[in-house]
Amino acid sequence: MKNFWKKWIAVIISMTMLVGHNGLVFAEESSAASSTQVELEQKGADEDSVDDTVAEETQKQIEMPSEQTETIEAIDEQEENAVENLEQESSGYYLTLDGLTWVYQSDYIDVGTAYSTNDPYVQFKWEMYNVNTGQWFTIADWNYGNWASWKTDCGDYWLHCTARTSDGAIERTSTITFHYVAGNTQISGIYAGDTGNGDQSILLGCASTESTVGLTYTFRIYDVNLEQWSTVSDRGNQWVTWYAKTGTYWAHYELYTIDGRLADTRTIAVSCSPIVRRALLIGNQSATARDPGTRFFKDVDNMYNALAWANFGGMQYSSIDYIRNGTKSQIAQKVKTAFQETSDNDVSYIYITCHGGSDGTIYMDSQNIGYTPKELRNLLDQYVKGTVVIMVTSCYSGNLIQSNDIELGVQDINDNDINDDDINVSMDAFTNAFQDISVNSGELATPKYKVVCAANKYEQSYGYPMINISTQYWSRAFGWDYSKSAAINMEADANNDGRVTLDELHKYAYPRILTEVKGSHEVVYPENSNFVIYGRY
């Protein structure tokens, strides 16, 4: 209406100016007829001046003074009020909507409107427009309440309220944009982090503001490189493990209400770096060893074949190196060169097959000097970054992760010094030393290392001429049969997920080694670990 009056007033003013100008010309003609010819001759000369004058006057009228603009706006407002007055006169009622509001409930939103009226029976209708789907839906049909409970899925909407008087003569509407979440049921936190299991698995988690039983969670992954979505878990628990591959992703979290509505969402970027695996196999069967034999070299061959069949999400070992009958300095140099490019994200494997001493010395060098547990740790800490998996077939190899010693509880006492307290202390220490034989407190019992020992610190390990008993079952656990020189199924993969964890290896090999050799108890660090030490997936 405002634009309508502006346009017509401008036209009327312009026409008035044009008519007034022509009238002046006509007056000159009637009073001085004899000068008509002169007028005509001057017309061409003055034509540009006249046109400029008309244009300037017209422009002045178009660019109206603020007083005229205010007048037009006042007229426009008056007309609108007049329309409302006419409506009120025709119905006897007036009605205005004075603003929309909302209140978060447990898993929905109550929406309402303020309004002014003299009609006690005003009716309301609530609707929503889904911006993503382009569809209208009714929240609450015509009723006498100015509040409605809004239950829908999380998303972007237009919230639309319509009110009308009881006689239907007056109708008012109000619309606002709205990002809907399911009331107080919202995502309060999300998590994405490496499980530390050595297989690029990522733990995804989602927390919600409501602890209501029955809420469900969905986790989706978008591969940026492939431009594809995949679902990790649909309507399940709030924690899930995602087995990623090297790349860049979006992790999308969805929270659902008890009645199955999408309550809230979150999305974050996640990057998965490659895990590089390297292996070094060390065997010593030198003539200076107490039992030269041949099985230590064959152990190296069998473990090499087992590792060669590994596949970790499309990645094999970047290198599988070995050294046989090397001196201590040669072994140290081999460790340095084999692992010099390791990073904190890598996993390195060291397999050692040789004799061992009851004091914990590992005789893996041709000089039969050996490495104490502390020397071995110092060597590996110096040259190897990241996680280190160590598998040792030696007798007494448990010393690497078991430092308890029964001698620590025994005291030299004489008959004159004996008392009840001394006896109790000594016997308790003696008993606890045996009870705590599995306590992980040796040199390699640290988070950097995953250790498998063929026997505990007090026991010997055994083997056949062709293979150590521990190596036999470790290689079969990984899917290699030395007797057939062929790959087989991974016998330790208890859940058939293509992975052999440290715990699965131990549960597979421990009873088999013990059955074959009554005096050898395999020990591992850490116990009950889900760290993946081998895989074909």
List the chain pLDDT tens, one digit each, 537 residues: 444 444 444 444 444 433 333 333 333 333 333 333 333 334 444 444 444 444 444 444 434 445 544 544 555 555 555 555 555 656 799 999 999 999 999 999 999 999 999 999 999 999 999 999 999 999 999 999 999 999 999 999 999 999 999 999 999 999 999 999 999 999 999 999 999 999 999 999 999 998 878 999 999 999 999 999 999 999 999 999 999 999 999 999 999 999 999 999 999 999 999 999 999 999 998 655 455 557 899 999 999 999 999 999 999 999 999 999 999 999 999 999 999 999 999 999 999 999 999 999 999 999 999 999 999 999 999 999 999 999 999 999 999 999 855 433 333 334 444 344 443 444 454 444 444 455 568 999 999 999 999 999 999 999 998 899 999 999 999 999 999 999 999 999 999 999 999 999 999 999 999 999 888 999 999 999 999 999 999
Instruction: Tell me the fold of 277-402+438-535.
Output: Rossmann fold (3.40.50)
For 79, the 3-state DSSP assignment is helix
CATH 2.60.40.10 positions along the chain are 92-180, 187-272
At a CB cut-off of 8 Å and minimum separation 6, what does 321 contact?
Answer: 278, 279, 280, 281, 334, 338
Q: Cα angle at 411 between 359 and 424, to 5 degrees?
A: 115
The CATH code of the domain at 92-180 is 2.60.40.10
DSSP secondary structure letters along 295-354: HHHHHHHHHHHHHHT-BBTTB--SEEEEEES--HHHHHHHHHHHSTT--TT-EEEEEEES
The second-level CATH assignment, the architecture, of 187-272 is Sandwich (2.60)
In this structure, the number of other CB atoms found within 10 A of the CB of residue 480 comes to 24
Residue 521 one-letter amino acid: H
Distance, first Cα to last Cα, the chain: 72
Residue from 198, 243, 272 nearest 530 by CA = 198
Domain with CATH 3.40.50.1460 in the chain: 277-402+438-535
